[in-house]
Amino acid sequence: MEGLYRNVDLAVDLLDSSTSRYTKEDSTDAAEQVIADHLANGEADLQRWAEINGVEWVVVRPAMIYELGIDKNIMEIMRLIQRWGFFPVLGKGSGLRQPVHVEDVANACMVMMSGRGTMNRVYTLSGG
C-alpha cells in the first residue's frame, strides 16, 4: 500500500451489503454473525493501518445497491410485482430495505474523495 494517499473502502459483499455490519451482529444465525464480524474487523484493520501509516481513509457502508436492469434484487422484486400485482411479505416483515442507486454511491464516493472535511470517517448510505 506504499504511496497510497486516498483509499475508499467500498465494503460490499455481493449478497449482503456492508450495512450487514450492524444488521447481522445480533442475528441468531451464526453465519450472519461471522459476516458482521468480518466487516467490523475489516473496517478496524483499515482504520488502524491508515492511522499508523498517516493515510486518510473513508469507509462507505452502502445498503443494498441497485442498478435497474442489472441487479438481481430490485429487478426480481419488480418482476414479481409486475407478474402478480403484489409482493409477498413473509413473517413479521420487520426487515428494513433501503436500496441505494449505484450512481448515488459513486457520486457520494466522489464527494468523499474531495477530502474537504470528509476524510477519516465512516458513512452509511441508504436510499430513501
SS (H, E, C) 107-125: HHHHHHHCCCCCCCEEEEE
Res 103: pLDDT: 92
Predicted confidence at residue 33, as pLDDT, reads: 84
For the stretch 47-69, pLDDT in tens is: 888 888 888 888 888 888 888 77
Answer whether residue 22 shows pLDDT above 80. no
Residue spans of the domains in the chain: they are 6-125
Residue 42: pLDDT above 90?
no
pLDDT reading at 41 higher than 60: yes
